[in-house]
Structure 1
């Protein structure tokens, strides 16, 4: 994706739809609309997946908690949401198999009654999934549970219930949707924000005034329909289009800590590894300890937040998450083991302003403002992004008078064409000189696009070396991100394209000087500009460390 070429199109072409926001819902709408043959413009004020969509728990799931709420309260909305999400779970594993895969989860059981309760609930979960079930849930004895999750404290464990959901790489999937939209003709650009909405004589929106935040240039995007896919910020755009609109959005904060893979025992090679899921902690939250990209991902919190917050992991949140995990493991994890972490806002669609954020149904709504014509997609969650997009673009097609069928249920995303479970092995066989962990990482991150990164090593063999000693990310990925993935800043590369900034802060600082040098070469930064970009990003990472530990951090 060449940003200059896409910007030129945004400035000069007329579009059927202009989508504002390129997180999960916006990128999903873009891929849906473009694959229907509509003329699509997409702008994102920061980077693709920089907000809520890049800070999830990395699970594609129906929602065991929502199922429990549905049964306890006889709530058909919760039940419908679970059913829809379970359907979409299988779809995601099909259209992006390199980024999404099944994950075994274990719920610890302390007695027979509790075990029966969980086992029956998860059989209902299996039943709701129907033919799209991954594998049947099982009630395991203590010895079996310890094989799958050796970190358990066997003294406290009676047994465990095992079931399956999906795991995915949220930021890379977000980018894959943008790339797929571009492949089908959409014009896309990051670091472009809306300055104003433009209406014609009828009062209906027909253009957007946009600002390139990197160059400072303002320009106009002409479109017949404008879609508001800005997540927690949706109200700001809704009220800009129509000042009479009420407040619909609220937010809750979810924080996660990341531990090295060595922080807790791993399942032996011959045994399927499992994640820990505690459906309800003492304060009513859900706790996960998930193996992800060679690390342990521990989450999540659920606290009230303002939609304008800039969330980060805080000391009390890190301490809370580790304290909860330590109730179930034999070797308590000390706070010093935390290597990284992140926090994000969940976009919650408000119906009852007095309800707890934990009780809000994570469903969505497509709203069409009759005064301005603005189409807003609000609420929802990652697992149901495709349905959200389908309903949104259906509404846009109705407004345009161009009924066109949705094809995204079978539309393979970038990197999925030709990918199967044996692809990583085939890639390793073709490149026996490369480290196994690097090749596995490239296959799991880029799918069948992985050879394009390796081809760069012909240009410069040094690009095959690691950015940080303990991680599989290589220099060529920085080059590839700048040339083909519209990465324009150090956070674009290190926080999102390769995600090192989420999982290991010290390794990110280790990788920073070389990453800055590589990106400066590709983007034509001067020596002074490169030094400033490096200093700014170093301060940002040190700020994350300081916020998470409550301690002042000094430069290395």
Structure 2
């Protein structure tokens, strides 16, 4: 079903598609699931890999957004809490309830934050993950042994959701395909062919692996390219004015000993008035994020020196174990595609995470939003498509659609297998089918060669980066270890994909070059 040749062959199945989606991140994949599940003929093209951009570089939280509550954006918070509830039910294998502690170094702040979080609880209603509460200094230090005790007055505990963003993206692609959509990575949209009325009649797409060009006809063209939204809009209209406000957020990965807890820390107000999280994730500690205005979007943005220093300085104010640049196992950067505000001088922390839909004839663009609300964004887009193009009115059912991998209850399995969910039994049978499949790709991590082959056969992995960055997340967890595993992974992939030795060496070289962005000098 996820075989690339088979998916590409399906492009000729329909003379005209109902929806052509450009972009394979959270928005695009969510739209593909929504459109296909309503019975529309749906195709999605992703220029790189699914979740290669912003959608694979988030803080890994499914949350209402305590910060948005402080900004008074009640509607966004309520919508996000509702969506968090749907994901808890529809993607149990990836959803994790996470307890956060806000450390307070003055008594009144504890009361202040507790009042705000009680409102958060109330807004959650039946979808609440647990009640927020005031905890004593002693309890806070028991839960967070590396938290600085001097001056600590108390803590406030609350609950939110955590997930694996890139793994959810892969599962959404699989779900869309199961509903009849065609979702293909490494397919670059080159240009549009328009009729006299200015409507797009067909999309010209290049298979970047073979160089072959395809002309694909569609009724509604959906631009879900995130930070590259303006590039697609300019392809349609060279006079288009900027609509996206890119904001960079970086995250640092440290050894778990820096937190030594299964609970997270939420720092409610940093020196520049932002929120910062210190979170356990895949047996490491992740700290972030920043909010830096970036003028020109890049698929692989570079973390700024001052951003790294800011995060280290901030977490060192709270932790007893001092973190230095040399302790950083990996650093990754993502660009938020915020909807450009009308007032030019607005700072990124004040820009709403609400989404908006732009219509240019039969080109529909979705701007803004966040992972937590991806499903609602998709519903809004397809509702708009139905209204604008007089498609058959079919109600959205994605609130109840189980995402590929979903299980009836959370499985208790080792971390390397945690994201397979309902595929776990099939994967373990597959791994046992070949003695080589149980061989590890790195001496310090449990990931195996079998997982490499499985990712190609079932998860549309096409490159070393696809596997190490987004199928098992090793590049984000420990960049140097990922580099050390590169040769083994490239060799396994070459054999499975039936590529040449030149391809294998190119893959190694490309990954080495990429990894430098994740390793601090």
Shorter-chain TM-score above 0.5: yes
Residues in 2 aligned to 1:281 and 1:294: alpha-carbon distance in whole angstroms? 25
Number of aligned positions between the proteins: 516
1:402 corresponds to 2:395: no
The answer to whether the 8 Å contact 1:250/1:307 transfers is no
Residues in 1 aligned to 2:76 and 2:147: alpha-carbon distance in whole angstroms? 32
Map of 1:393-472 to 2, 5 A cutoff? 393-398=382-387, 399-416=389-406, 418-421=407-410, 423-424=411-412, 437=414, 440-442=415-417, 444-472=418-446
Residues in 1 aligned to 2:518 and 2:106: alpha-carbon distance in whole angstroms? 41
Match of 2:254 among 256, 259, 269: 259
Partner SS for 1:472: strand
The answer to whether the 8 Å contact 2:259/2:280 transfers is no
Partner SS for 2:374: helix
Residues in 1 aligned to 2:274 and 2:62: alpha-carbon distance in whole angstroms? 18
Deviation at 1:101, TM superposition (A): 1.5
Residues in 2 aligned to 1:531 and 1:85: alpha-carbon distance in whole angstroms? 44
The answer to whether the 8 Å contact 2:46/2:186 transfers is yes
Aligned to 2:3: 2
Match of 1:288 among 263, 277, 293: 277
1:345 corresponds to 2:335: yes
Partner SS for 1:467: strand
Aligned to 1:248: 243
Deviation at 1:51, TM superposition (A): 0.1
The answer to whether the 8 Å contact 2:219/2:362 transfers is no
TM-score if structure 2 supplies the norm length?
0.96
1:359 corresponds to 2:350: yes
Aligned to 2:491: 517
Residues in 1 aligned to 2:62 and 2:163: alpha-carbon distance in whole angstroms? 7
Aligned to 2:187: 192
Aligned to 1:433: none
Map of 1:193-272 to 2, 5 A cutoff? 193-266=188-261
TM-score if structure 1 supplies the norm length?
0.90
Deviation at 1:543, TM superposition (A): 4.7
Match of 1:108 among 81, 103, 115: 103
Deviation at 1:335, TM superposition (A): 2.2
- Structure 1 unmatched runs, 5+: 71-77, 267-272, 429-436, 550-556
- Structure 2 unmatched runs, 5+: none
The answer to whether the 8 Å contact 2:29/2:176 transfers is yes
The answer to whether the 8 Å contact 1:193/1:213 transfers is yes
Deviation at 1:12, TM superposition (A): 4.6
Partner SS for 1:515: helix
Deviation at 1:87, TM superposition (A): 0.9
Residues in 1 aligned to 2:287 and 2:30: alpha-carbon distance in whole angstroms? 27
Residues in 2 aligned to 1:441 and 1:489: alpha-carbon distance in whole angstroms? 19
Q: What CA RMSD, in Å, does the superposition of the two structures yield over aligned residues?
A: 1.4
The answer to whether the 8 Å contact 1:206/1:225 transfers is no
Partner SS for 1:67: helix
Structure 1, 148-157 or 87-96: larger mean CA deviation:
148-157
Residues in 1 aligned to 2:260 and 2:508: alpha-carbon distance in whole angstroms? 36
Map of 1:45-124 to 2, 5 A cutoff? 45-70=47-72, 78-124=73-119
Match of 1:368 among 335, 359, 381: 359
The list of structure 1 runs, each at least 4 consecutive aligned residues, that deviate by more than 4 angstroms after superposition, is: none
Partner SS for 1:473: strand
| Cα distance change, pair 245–315 in 1 and its aligned pair in 2 (3 A) | closer
Deviation at 1:6, TM superposition (A): 0.9
**For each residue in 1:267-310, what CA deviation from the matched residue of structure 2 results, as whole angstroms up to 9, or x when unmatched?**
xxxxxx31000111011121110000100001001111124234
